Structure 1
């Protein structure tokens, strides 16, 4: 029994040593480990008390044997038992004294003194850590245009960082004292474990080395105390490097502020990392990571200088964007470079995974200006892909020539490979709106738009002067930065567009339509000889003539999509597209940011004109694109009033359903996006009919304001 108890004591002491040594290696003990140490001390005391109770019961048993032996002095067996019981009693008394002196006393001292001091040091460390976090947050929130606040936040952060390092050193020194307490404990218990000489000898050697290492660490820490006073921590940036071959799979990690996507746009500090070609973050180290970007090949990264906070950058994916803030400009540049390197590395290593990526990546948001419109029926997947790729020139990427593209720019009417589609997204939706040909649903009018343009038509416009200027067209596999530079020169700077010379402009005939327009419902259409050529006028008449290539050329020459013809009742290209009667022409202008609610001199917008002309398909399109059906013209007539007077049942039905759906959504709350299912079904039917069989819808005469 004595040997078993002593072995248990040895095992318990070794367990405490392992727990505490692990904390020394990490240079900090977690709170739960400290609580476990206290629990073990209590258990040890309970074990000693149980040993005392056992010793008392055993002593009573021995006394009973002695009393029995006094009555049986001649019995040899009883005499042997009596002598043995005396040895047992003396041995247990000795062991109990040793336990009391070598274990209980030292453990109580450890808990009351050493552990208490260590806890106080840890509390102070945690407090200063929180103050540093608060200083970091205040420094990050300092607006760039208030220099005094920036300087104040920077000074506070510098002072806090210095204080933090002092406390860290004190914390480590207290830990060393903690180690000395352990050293004393094990030396005083050395006599108790004399039976375990081999183990104790090995342990003694380790303790001696620990003493030497602890003394060395203490001297180093004391030297660092003096070094901190001389070091400047005003720009305390952690050195971050992108390492794609890291053993743990994490190419880069560190703290960033993340702007929430809620209505309050709050900023929270999170631990971000780039791993497995994904951008993820954690609230706490134990939390499961939250994925921000599923695949970095589908995203782009850019600086953000148009917001109040400093050092911000944005990672844009097909489905969302994430705004983040670094602690300094150096860290921002490091993160942007890391994301760009991850994108480039992913493309180099993708091999045959490009095809799989198109099919497994998340569905894009579709038409970016369509708001909460309902999805149209099944022009999706291979159907849309086959129709679009059948157009001449669309079988290869418009910008780099990569075969079998799976993405498209819907406002340009071109097909793109996955790398070029990511670059197009980075240009912004005012230059290019990207959709997937295999994952997204395609409205019939949008699919027809793609089929009327195509890579060959657009390249004849945007690459007209490329060979003349000696510019090299990218090839599949070229570095991303070269492809990105070419695409920006092509679509943003429009460097390769052939612009008419002054002489050509003087001799260029007026951009008149090939056929006369239908009579205006409000007044007679007046044709005039324009004073001079302009790209806006070209877009104006091309919209009426239903010529998408001419419209695309006018936009490439810099035409304003909402250009107003002051000599023709202040009409716009979109109103002329309504006059021309083409649904696809209206869709093209809307995809290129035409204002659906812009009014002419009579106070009529595109919805008014479509209603007056009885173009049901256009009415359906404008309602889906957010046209204001409550707007009244100078005669105080709304589109619904005009439709009722013209007895156009289809348009009246659409306008009333749209009004009812709007009221239902307002009743459901400001964040409701669903609307009525009946409304969605009816609009889908009208959309399909307008694209596939428009004659069935255009069965009403034009509106006559003089009609009784």
Structure 2
């Protein structure tokens, strides 16, 4: 025990003793104040700890419940379950820490203040009382008169008794001082040591619990890193899709007209339509229609059972209905009943009608695949007529010729074998899934047609044979090896195919970028094609095009090697004319390649943003369509028209493509332009229209075509706005001219000198 004060000093009661007493009393008083404050703080800490533990328990229970909710996601469910268990163990250890702190710190400090300090205070009071008694006895003893012995004796006895009492109290007080000084150290040290041991035990237990999860945490960290990468990629894809959708027309009806017969949900198309009731009131109701399982159904609410409108789409047809006062109406007719429907827009009306027709075709195709071999068909489907098992077979000329092109036996975008759909402006074949996605892009990107269900004009078949999947993929997938995006396969989800197709044709992510410098391989025109352009070169001397020095080379633009380019156009160098098209910007490249009839280069120019109606100021403001017309290329004209070329755009002489085709006597091209709506009344700067030019050149076939078109239009105008586009004789004549232009063009060189102007 440390001796704070010596007992001999207390008997002397010297000023030094009194000063020491005062110092000790001040220390004890300060210690008491600080201990009381510390006890209050400890109590607040314990209460806050209990509150924290209670809140943490609620939090852990919430984690456990969330884990049960996410049990279908193994990673999240397992993670939450393990972590909640470990946190529960740590919380139990923390509660134990709080209870031990309560016992070892708070109770010990409170006991020191209440017991030891109290005994010190009681001893001090006794010391002060005996000190005052001694002072009084000393005073009385000093004041006792010498002449009064009895008073002196009483004073002496009182002083002796007071001194005895003072010594006893002083000794007890000094003892308490020494005791409290010694116990202050031991009690405080024991309390702090117990607190640290309890804290160490708590943290050690928590560390041990979390160490058991170390391997799992590392594994989870790796999964988290991968999830972050996947999330970033998904976010980028979603932002891309978000941007694609924002670029579309904002009307909601156009975003749902995507026919998908092989959708996982079994719903080929769905959306809102108005339906006219069959009762006497003929009321119109807005319902959610869908085509699923070869049936047309609708429902008012999501959970109610769908109402079947047409039980079997193979037994119905669809047609527009212009007799109603309402707009955008069409009728689905079956043997037992008809259903009158109304869309929100003309485009939605056409989309639904097309979807119904495609569903009818798809239903028959599924039926044929179940009952017949791929080359045998027992039904033919048209826009309004269905012939079942009558021994009629579809003309497969388009399918056979187009699929015979290298690369066309598989879908251009996903590789599914045996595609029977096509994009006529791109010149590629597609499976039915990819064709639906192409249709959703809009006709300004892709025009979809069936190779087996639709009628094919000869020039369209010829155009499809000039291009093909291999040539187009060399353009639109030129950089596929440089990009991490994986091309979909036939079994890929529809979302992956749609994302790929939009990236490929809309955003054009995979085409070669146009470098700023470089020289290209000369483009050559074969002697056979040079011969077809002889007439034009005699009539019109074409000045050379001024190349742009900062544009791409032809070889890089097309993705072809120089050998492939030369072999594709001509095989003998001495029979070729070499024309260098390197350095041309896309518009000029389209213009020159149209004259050379090089379809892959034309497609490449359009892919790089060429204006299909680009005007060459250096050559009388002529367009690529005029170039294709002057070389008598039906397929090139068809390609440009399918990609949006203006059939009536005139040059600086006021002559449109029809004028040039008429001047050069290209009857097949004239027939094509007339079918595509060319203006036969348009006059050039010499005030001559195509009919006058044809009469002057004595071309009987062209005069016949022009006059027949003019007469047919006048008859339709007399019959009113709802007349058909032409009678059967008119259509037959144009069909015959188209067949001749594609198969026997030499028969269209007939001339007559006795044709008179009407």
TM-score by length of 2: 0.47
Larger-Rg structure: 2
